[in-house]
Amino acid sequence: MGIFKFMTPEIIFGTNALSQIGESLLRLGAKKVFVVSDKGVLNSGWVELAVRYLKDCKLDYCLWTELTSNPKDYEVEKGVRTYVESGCNSVVGIGGGSAIDAAKSVALLATNSGTIQQYEGVDLVTRPLPPMVMVPTTAGSGSEVSQFSIIRNSKHKVKMTIISKSLIPDIAIIDPQTLMTKDARLTAHTGMDVLSHAIESYISLAATPMTEGYSLQAIRLVANYLRPSVASQHNREAKEAMAMASLQAGIAFSNSILGAVHAMSHQLGGLLDLPHGEVNSILLPYVLEYNLISCPEKFKNISEAFGENVEGLSLTAAARKAIGAVKELAGDLGISDSLSGLNLKEEQIDFMSHNAVHDACMTTNPRDMKVSDVKMLFRHALGSDI
């Protein structure tokens, strides 16, 4: 076993954990807080509640919601200008992955010079960021505990993967109640995103004994609780379990990185501005089929985490049960098994495939992947025979 690092923020988890936001910021030395969210979360009432807790702690704030899904580079630049002009000294992100990634990138540029494009890659941040507290309202991206920020390059229509330990928030506040305002479709897509994080972090080349335990437990929780969470907005047990699954998968992938599913989905999201969770859920079974031969023992463990009976089966047969379980879960949630409904054109595959092999997440995929292999997987997922 080689040397490895393992990093997490301070974590506050549980019903009504949002009430800790003001006190948490005071401990970090906050004076005026830059609150980043989006219109959907604003309408759900969670931002209003968070602001009330800030006021209770006599904290001033500036609310900024000028971002969209798959946050764009120019949106981040606007956010930074507003941060500086408002005189803030700390950052809060409230929402899904888009709001939290945008908040982290605003914090990055608030204390580091240049443009967000300059930080694409690994460990390019040189100056400390302002204090950051992140509050996820989906289960979810895991960005509230990760060293990732994903921002869309609007000029080149690609997603930039920014990885730095500086992007790990100081405090993550996870309140499962926030999941109760999400509809079934969003719950399904974000939940399958959690599963993709858990599986890809588990089979990652950078996985460690520390990350593997979190990854497997997250898979077990998704297998048992995603269906009931999608079925009812008010199933408190399911919401708590999925919040925990998202947290554990986020901790795992922050420390072990991901794989080809995310390397490919970043290209689709960047080019066509598509929902990240939906794209991941479609691509996951195709990439798993490709990766199966690289680590069948781990695939067998995934099968068992899903509750599959593998007794008496060959290693390959037991491993393949994992792929079947993923497909069955997605099917039960009404998620498509094809990219054909997402306006992807055959002629766009070449561009995306060349970009995917250079994505930071591809470096830890357990099986080597050439441009031709990525093209093949995109075409299979599109339902093309070419």
Across all residues in the chain, what is the average pLDDT? Answer: 96
What's the rounded mean pLDDT across residues 171-179? Answer: 97
**70 with 96, same domain?**
yes
d(CA 93, CA 252): 21
**290 with 357, same domain?**
yes
**225 with 373, same domain?**
yes
Phi, psi torsion values for 163, nearest 5 degrees: -125, 120
Question: How confident is the model at residue 2, as a pLDDT?
Answer: 77
Quick: pLDDT tens for 95-143: 999 999 999 999 999 999 999 999 999 999 999 999 999 999 999 899 9
Query: Where in the sequence is the domain holding 124, given as residue range(s)?
Result: 10-179
Is residue 103 situated within a structural domain?
A: yes
Q: Is the pLDDT of residue 237 over 70?
A: yes
pTM: 0.96
Strands 60-64 and 32-36: parallel
Domain boundary among 130, 158, 179: 179
Question: How confident is the model at residue 386, as a pLDDT?
Answer: 42
Q: E strands within the chain?
A: 10-13, 32-36, 60-64, 90-95, 121-122, 132-136, 148-153, 158-163, 171-174
274 band by pLDDT with thresholds 50, 70 and 90:
confident
Domain boundary among 179, 210, 242: 179
Q: What is the signed CA dihedral for 256, 261, 271, 125, rounded to 10 degrees?
A: 0
Quick: pLDDT tens for 79-93: 999 999 999 999 999
Q: Is the pLDDT of residue 385 over 80?
A: no
**170 with 144, same domain?**
yes
Quick: pLDDT tens for 189-228: 999 999 999 999 999 999 999 999 999 999 999 999 999 9
Is residue 1 situated within a structural domain?
A: no
Answer left, alpha or beta for residue 226, where phi above 0 means left and psi between -120 and 50 means alpha: alpha
**192 with 160, same domain?**
no
Question: How confident is the model at residue 1, as a pLDDT?
Answer: 61
